[in-house]
């Protein structure tokens, strides 16, 4: 959700942590209403103030019809990229620093900040943790065949963006996933971090993208409370070769 610093184009990173603005709270409520019919099995959030507590993650769960009482687990690996000396300063200052160093944003790393590779490594570590979690759940579910019967999960994993992506993209995973999802995980994080996560998905894991996605959409930071949906398949529990389909990226039709 939006903060006052978002609106004023001031870098927050990790050291500057503003609460949501009034607009940000409305955005979080709107995202919650948008996702209210999705039954999540797990919720993970950045431990920064603007993502946790009475903010984005809690607002989304508060609107949910199935999992209001689901525990939100906070994880430092989901924090925004650290911008060092540029935190608390206008974005124009970061661009000026990059120009002075003969580099381009966003690849430029200010003093005390994280490199893009370091951010990507955090994303990789957290994603591998999620994959391990899903595999462990699958093993538990194998002991309870009834919970995996055809159609048992159909109503629990209904996603609201069928009008915003192609039938081909949905069919690539949704019809099958509705019956076999071992985990349906909500992750609440930050724009620059999630852009690095997407870069990792594409460059390292060959993520399949929506057919109508433009290069500018691919490189842009998600709008506040933008929603992205990925289907991850781990064939035979193989953690090394996940198949990833991006159903939608940075969806903001709820705003």
Query: Residues annotated as binding site?
Result: 50, 80-83
Distance CA 84, CA 169 (A): 39
3-state secondary structure the chain: CCEHHHHCCECCCCCCCCCECHHHHHHHHHHHHHCCCECCCEEEECCCCCCCCCCHHHHHHHCCCCCCCCCEEECHHHCCCCEHHHCCCEHHHHHHHHHHCCCCCCCCCCCCECCHHHHHHHHHHHHHHHHHHHHHHHHHHCCCHHHHCCCCCCCCECCCCHHHCCHHHHHCCHHHHHHHCCCCEEEECCHHHHHHHHHHHHHHHCCECCCCCCHHHHHCCCCCCCEEEEEEECHHHCCCCCEEEEEEEEECCCC
Residue that has been written with the tokens 């409305």 in this structure: 26
Known binding-site residues for substrate equal: 50, 80-83
Distance CA 174, CA 20 (A): 33
* Tokens describing residue 125: 């570590």
Q: Which of 138, 188, 184 is nearest to 158 (CA)?
A: 184
């Amino acid at each position: 959700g939006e903060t006052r610093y978002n609106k004023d184009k001031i870098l927050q990173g990790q050291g500057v942590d503003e609460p949501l603005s009034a607009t940000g709270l409305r955005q979080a409520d709107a995202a919650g209403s948008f996702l209210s019919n999705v039954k999540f099995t797990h919720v993970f959030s950045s431990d920064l103030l603007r993502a946790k507590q009475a903010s984005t993650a809690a607002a989304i769960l508060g609107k949910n019809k199935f999992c209001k009482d689901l525990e939100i687990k906070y994880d430092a690996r989901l924090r925004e990229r650290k911008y060092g000396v540029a935190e608390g300063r206008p974005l124009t200052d970061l661009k000026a620093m990059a120009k002075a160093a003969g580099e381009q944003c966003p690849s430029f790393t200010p003093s005390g900040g994280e490199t893009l590779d370091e951010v990507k490594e955090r994303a990789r570590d957290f994603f591998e943790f999620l994959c391990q979690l899903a595999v462990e759940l699958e093993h538990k579910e194998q002991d309870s065949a009834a919970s995996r019967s055809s159609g048992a999960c159909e109503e629990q994993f209904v996603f609201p963006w069928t009008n915003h992506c192609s039938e081909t993209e949905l069919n690539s995973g949704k019809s099958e996933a509705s019956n076999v999802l071992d985990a349906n995980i909500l992750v609440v994080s930050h724009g620059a971090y999630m852009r690095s996560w997407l870069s990792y998905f594409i460059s390292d894991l060959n993520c399949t993208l929506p057919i109508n996605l433009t290069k500018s959409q691919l490189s842009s930071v998600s709008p506040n409370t933008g929603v992205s949906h990925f289907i991850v398949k781990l064939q035979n529990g193989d953690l090394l070769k996940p198949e990833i389909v991006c159903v939608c990226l940075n969806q903001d039709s709820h705003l």
